[in-house]
C-alpha cells in the first residue's frame, strides 16, 4: 500500500524537473535541476529537443572522462590487481550490526503500520451511498 507511493513520488519529481516556455521558433526547455536550456521544436504533434553546442561539448567531455576511467579499471583488472583495496572503506562488524538493528526496527515499524491499516479497513463499516 505505502510502497505504491514511491514510484509516484519519483514520477512527480521527474515531472517537475523541466519547464517549457513557448517562443517564436518553438519552445525552450529549462532543466530545473542543473539550469540547462534546450531548444525544442514541435513537428507533427511531437516535441523534439536537441542538445545545444555547449551541452554537447560537456556531454562529450563526460564521455571521454568515463571512457578513460573504464579503460584504467579494465587495465587494472587485466593485470590481476584488485579494483579496490582489501578492507578499504568497509564498515566494522559493529557498524554492520548497528545498521541491521536499525533496518530491523524500521521493518517492524513499517509492517506494524501495514497491520494497523488492515485492521482499520476490516473494522470499518462498508460505504453505502
Assess if residue 63 is contained within a domain. yes
Report the SS3 class of residue 80. coil
* pLDDT tens, residue by residue, 74-83: 888 887 776 6
* pLDDT tens, residue by residue, 7-16: 555 556 677 8
Asked whether residue 45 falls in the same domain as residue 27, the answer is: yes
Give the whole-angstrom CA distance, residue 72 versus residue 9: 38
Asked whether residue 23 falls in the same domain as residue 46, the answer is: yes
Domain interval for residue 65: 52-82
Assess if residue 4 is contained within a domain. no
Assess if residue 65 is contained within a domain. yes
Assess if residue 10 is contained within a domain. no
Report the SS3 class of residue 52. coil
Assess if residue 28 is contained within a domain. yes
Indicate if the pLDDT at residue 127 is higher than 60: yes
Mean of the pLDDT values across residues 100-105? 94
Assess if residue 6 is contained within a domain. no
Asked whether residue 46 falls in the same domain as residue 58, the answer is: no
Assess if residue 102 is contained within a domain. yes
Assess if residue 89 is contained within a domain. no
The domain total for the chain is 3
Please indicate, yes or no, whether the overall pTM of this predicted structure exceeds 0.75.
no
Residue 100 zone, left/alpha/beta (φ > 0; ψ -120 to 50; rest): alpha
* pLDDT tens, residue by residue, 37-63: 788 888 888 888 877 676 778 888 899
Amino acid at each position: 500500500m505505502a510502497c505504491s507511493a514511491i514510484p509516484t513520488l519519483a514520477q512527480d519529481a521527474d515531472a517537475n524537473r523541466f519547464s517549457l516556455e513557448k517562443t517564436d521558433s518553438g519552445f525552450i526547455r529549462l532543466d530545473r535541476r542543473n539550469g540547462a536550456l534546450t531548444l525544442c521544436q514541435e513537428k507533427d504533434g511531437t516535441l523534439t529537443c536537441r542538445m545545444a553546442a555547449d551541452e554537447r561539448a560537456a556531454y562529450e567531455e563526460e564521455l571521454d572522462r568515463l571512457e578513460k576511467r573504464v579503460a584504467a579499471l579494465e587495465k587494472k583488472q587485466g593485470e590481476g590487481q584488485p579494483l579496490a583495496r582489501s578492507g578499504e572503506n568497509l564498515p566494522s562488524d559493529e557498524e554492520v550490526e548497528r545498521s541491521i538493528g536499525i533496518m530491523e526496527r524500521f521493518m517492524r515499524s513499517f509492517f506494524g503500520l501495514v497491520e494497523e491499516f488492515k485492521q482499520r479497513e476490516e473494522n470499518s463499516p462498508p460505504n453505502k451511498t
